[in-house]
Amino acid sequence: MTLRTDFQKITARLEGNIATIELSDPPHNFLTLDLIGEVGDALEALDEEPACRAVVLAAQGTSFSAGANFGAGGVQESKRYPGHLYDQAVRAFRTKKPIVAAVHGPAIGGGLGLALAADFRVTCPEARFSANFARLGFHPGFGLTETLPALIGRQNGMLLLLTGRRVKGDEAVAMGLADRLVPQAEVRKVAYELAGEIAGSAPLALLSIRAALRVGLAERVRAATDREKAEQDRLFRTEDSREGIRAYGERRTPEFKGR
């Protein structure tokens, strides 16, 4: 099988038993329907490739993904992928092959959501993890109301979702948000080493064990994103949301009014 070469926002390749999906819209890999749709396409193609036993999800540029580009009006529509960005995002949670995310820089908002679609995260001191939605005046998305508390516990999840706090790589590993902390220059290398260790296991056992550990996950994320979309639509229309996005662009502290 040959992976597509006509992706616009990502690159994908398979070398031996390990595939690489690389976000290729630097410097910040802002989330768009096209980018997330292409990630879903690549993952689904790799599901059908028997040689692929593990996937490394990496990124070019400064950020792993800085989430939506509010300076460009937020998530843009796509002529290639229908519906809402979160409809495409759920596809990443239906994948069959183990995924190791190489988080070498900021994973913010929906970018954090994408990182949590992976099974493991290798990171570095320079990385930043943040579910910053409340600081922008609206509701979290990308299934984070499901995936974040499930990964790091209800209290830590609530703390990050309510404060929008930015967590550095060492703190992320300490709370279970990431799995390995290495120097920034080694993030991708260590991610491949972990993927290689996984790929050394029996392929049918890998699929069976992973499916058992993630049973119902895609359905829970689907239910979460349905709630999240409705709340985001409601809160996007508030003065606080407009102020939060404006303050973010102006790099200042927002002045919320509760309306």
User: At residue 3, does pLDDT exceed 80?
Assistant: no
Q: Given this model, what pLDDT does residue 214 score? A: 97
Q: Say what the alpha-carbon torsion angle 185, 64, 213, 217 is, to the nearest 10 degrees.
A: 180
Structural domains in the chain, CATH included, are 1-184+203-259 (3.90.226.10)
pTM: 0.94
User: At residue 72, does pLDDT exceed 60?
Assistant: no
Q: Given this model, what pLDDT does residue 76 score? A: 62
Other beta carbons within 10 Å of 76: 14
Q: Report the alpha-carbon distance of residue 95 to residue 132 in Å, rounded.
A: 26
> In the structure, what pLDDT confidence band is assigned to residue 2 with cuts at 50, 70 and 90?
low
For residue 127, give Cα distances in angstroms to 21, 33, 141, 181, 247: 19, 24, 21, 10, 23
> In the structure, what pLDDT confidence band is assigned to residue 153 with cuts at 50, 70 and 90?
very high
Q: Report the alpha-carbon distance of residue 35 to residue 38 in Å, rounded.
A: 5
Nearest to 122 by CA among 186, 168, 179, 170: 179
The mean pLDDT value for 9-29 works out to 97
> In the chain, which residue ranges form alpha helices assigned H by DSSP?
33-47, 85-93, 110-115, 133-136, 144-152, 154-163, 169-174, 187-199, 203-213, 217-236, 239-250
pLDDT, tens only, 167-195: 999 999 999 999 999 999 999 999 999 99
Give residue 72's Cα distance to chain centre.
20
- 3-state per-residue secondary structure call for 23-83: ECCCCCCCCCHHHHHHHHHHHHHHHCCCCCCEEEEEECCCCCECCCCHHHCCCCCCCCCCC
Output phi, psi for 23, to 5 deg. Answer: -65, 125
> In the structure, what pLDDT confidence band is assigned to residue 248 with cuts at 50, 70 and 90?
confident
User: At residue 75, does pLDDT exceed 60?
Assistant: no
What residue type is assigned to position 95 of the chain? T
State the DSSP code for 132. T
Comparing 93-97, 181-185, 220-224, 250-254, the range with the smallest average pLDDT is: 250-254
Tell me the Cα Rg of the chain. Answer: 18
Comparing 33-42, 66-75, 244-253, the range with the smallest average pLDDT is: 66-75
Nearest to 143 by CA among 172, 170, 118: 118
Provide, rounded to the nearest whole percent, the portion of the chain with pLDDT above 90. 89
Q: Given this model, what pLDDT does residue 69 score? A: 83
CB 39 within 8 A of CB 31: no
- By three-state DSSP, how is residue 197 classified? helix
